[in-house]
Structure 1
């Protein structure tokens, strides 16, 4: 899978989020500034867990449509460290100790 496919997936993720009344405005701004792949990578290297991740979890969309899910789906485009962060966050999505690290 390549960056064109990633771009299409990100657009679909945003569309699905909006259909559930969640608008990932911070992520959209990051995409405008850095592009899809770089924005996603930056979110994985940040020590903060984005509130959008929690919102997608509450909508039962995180495992399929979160940035973390996208990093794993398009794994060839991301580093091992970025994929490790994505796996960790998805595996511990409801861990209350991580909630304090939300942005």
Structure 2
């Protein structure tokens, strides 16, 4: 019997592979993911006051839809209201060219 892959974990794995293929290794996120688990790592990063360099790097590579902020909105039931609001704010700011 084949194990069913968690859709969020699969999305994040794909995000990392795409980032690596563009020459950006998201090492801080990968370390935090191992340390805290995927959801907790994302929560910690997205709800921090400052915009992470990784998010800025993904934006510069045209990978906004592969950011952890995008993951929060793609899988909203997995995250806190605070994380969802922070992700929405960051993505909206990015679309407006404020980041």
What is the TM-score normalised by the length of structure 2?
A: 0.89
1:46 pairs with 2:48? yes
Deviations 1:3-61 (A, max 9, x none): 82111110000000000000000000000100111100111221121101011111111
Give the structure 1 partner of residue 29 of structure 2: 27
- Higher RCO structure, 1 or 2 (CA under 8 Å, sep 6+): 1
Larger Rg computed on CA atoms? 2
- Is there any run of 5+ residues in structure 2 with no aligned partner, and where? none
Length, aligned pairs only: 93
* Residue 78 of structure 1: how far off its partner (Å): 0.7
Give the TM-score normalised by the residue count of structure 1.
0.85
Gaps of 5+ in 1: 97-103
Q: Which runs of 4+ in 1 moved over 4 A?
A: none
